[in-house]
Chains A and B, each alone.
Chain A
Amino acid sequence: MPDPANPDPGESLLRGGDRGAADSGPVAHRGNAVTVYLPIAEISVNIFIILGMGAAVGFLSGMFGVGGGFLITPLLIFYNIPPIVAVATGANQVVASSISGAITHFRRGSLDIKLGTVLLIGGLLGASAGIWLFALLRRVGQLDLVISLLYVILLGVVGVLMLFESVKALRRAANNQPVSLRKPGHHNWVHGLPLKMRFKKSKIYLSVIPVVVLGFSIGILTSIMGVGGGFIMVPAMIYLLRIPTNVVVGTSLFQIIFVTAYTTVMQATTNNSVDIVLAFILMVAGVIGAQYGVRVGQRLRGEQLRALLALLVLAVGMRLAVDLVLTPDEVYSIVSEGVRR
């Protein structure tokens, strides 16, 4: 799907303008060492920019224990990777960034497999629905818009919540107040729902309805936005479902691994939009960055860093919002339908 409406500046810098091999001898060799051609995104990119993006997001995800998909995808979009490729590739890279955590929790047994399976059933259904919606939106030409809008909303909400939370924590630390934890086992409306099931590992007797609904919603987010969804799932499990914190992260990673893997295969099958070269560069940089992020995160105080991450998240969301509102240089675009003769 080469889109002449959005000629990539990087590409035109490196490949365009010097057409005609005969008269562009010295020019043709320019930048070969650092550019890599992404076969599915169909553009040439600077490999160090992609490595840097992967490493930076990996570092942040290691430091804060988040998957990083919600930062990778918008950054790729800013770098003119088509949103459809950014989303599908993002889901693929979340598999790599979540696997080591998932293995650790599995070894320790700090996950509830039964609860995870119910979440996963919801997640797979949600991802299937999301892929169907994704293909539909693509067909009617509204996919890029919906991805951007969802990111503006998601990053806006998450950023604001994180900022409030960290400012509150900073104030608390300044006043030397003890952290007040909510009492586990305290019931809310969710616990009045039918179809209850006993989850032994979590020591909880809970309706499957909210679990499946949560898994379903996260599955939709995974397929349409290319995120793991841990940053929504973990708080929802703790505060809404009242699941003990010691199994929450392991259980959510269990769901994330399988849903992102499933989404990757479905995106590849339905939309041919997983760029394995781009994903691999991001993964390698990401897993290395994450190792250093974890080490730094263990030594530093969290509140200021969380406030900084919140500001970063808000900035990325704002930038996407601005792009939606500003008058574009070109209001027309062309897409090939792929019925080639």
Chain B
Amino acid sequence: MRALLHAILAAFVLATAAPASAQEDQRPEISERLEIGMSTDEIAIASDFRGADLTIFGAIEGYDPNLLAQGKYDVVVALEGPKDNQTVRRKERVLGIWVNRRSMTFELAPESYSLSSTRDVEDIAPAAVLNSIGVGLQHIRLDPIGFFGDGSNISEFREAFRRLKETGGYYQRDPGGVQFISASLFKATVKLPANVPNGTHVVRAQLFRDGVFISEKAMPLRVVKTGLEQMISNAAFNNPVSYGILSVILAVLTGWIASVVFRKD
């Protein structure tokens, strides 16, 4: 529905902005499509993982050669991490002590977000377009839920959220990370941060033509952490009772063995 709306909008913009170009006017429908491919739909990473690059290949199909030659097509590829409700809290001074006073919870925001594009997304399309499809670090959908007062501080909390995610390395961007390797074939490099969350990520690619959103393609990518540390973490979250009992047994054994080993008699 939204794509259709954009298509209509695009046709309208083109019709008004470039009346001289009769060829554009008669275009019956927008036929460009995006295809992307990855060599895998699952990545296993060890606990000493320090970040890596993920390469995604793609092609624009049904493109207009003239527009392609003019560089009117832009591609944005994002790796979105698992989504969760995330609460931002702000400390304030109360009786001399710094206390969490205000908070805002954003509904199902991605835990990580790595963006790669042919050029800076802000130059690819107007902010309104980016907001509507939630593309770009400044345009990811951050909807507060629960009680958040009169909403006057939404932008402040959104800004803090993005800043913390960026400084923590969870959100990153690479304008120039998408490169055309032939006329319509492109290669996108998205960064997997060192602290990439475990779970199902989504690779989402968008095609823009002259600032207009044309089409989108999404593929799931499972990030599976491996190794002893992850096994322990899985046990702690999936079998918490056994894990707790095991922790106690380990402590009892450690203390008991020590008392036997160090016994004086």
Contact = CB atoms under 8 A, between A and B. Distances in A.
A252 interface: no
Q: What size tier do the contact residues of chain A reach?
A: 35 or more
B236 A274 contact: yes
B251 A99 contact: yes
B248 A92 contact: yes
Contacts, number: 209
B170 A4 contact: yes
B101 to A, nearest CB: 9
Given A287-B255, A324-B97, A334 B86 contact: yes
B247 A28 contact: no
A325 B83 contact: no
B82 A264 contact: no
Contacts of A332: 88-91, 157, 160-161, 163-164
Interface stretch (B50-58, B65-73, B128-136, B209-217): B50-58
A38 B229 CA distance: 7
Nearest to A144: B100
A264 B244 contact: yes
Interface stretch (A15-23, A196-204, A225-233): A15-23
Contact of A333 (B164, B167, B258): B164
Given A20-B52, A264-B244, A336 B85 contact: yes
Contacts of A4: 164-165, 167-170
Nearest to A21: B52
A100 B258 contact: yes
Contact of A277 (B103, B163, B232): B232
A19 B254 contact: no
Given A264-B247, A274-B236, 11 more contacts: A2-B111, A19-B51, A20-B53, A95-B251, A99-B259, A141-B87, A269-B241, A272-B237, A276-B246, A332-B89, A339-B85
Interface of A: 2, 4-5, 7, 15-16, 18-22, 24, 28, 32, 37-40, 92-93, 95-100, 103-104, 141-142, 145, 149, 261, 264-269, 272, 274, 276-277, 279-280, 283-284, 287-288, 290-291, 324-328, 330-341
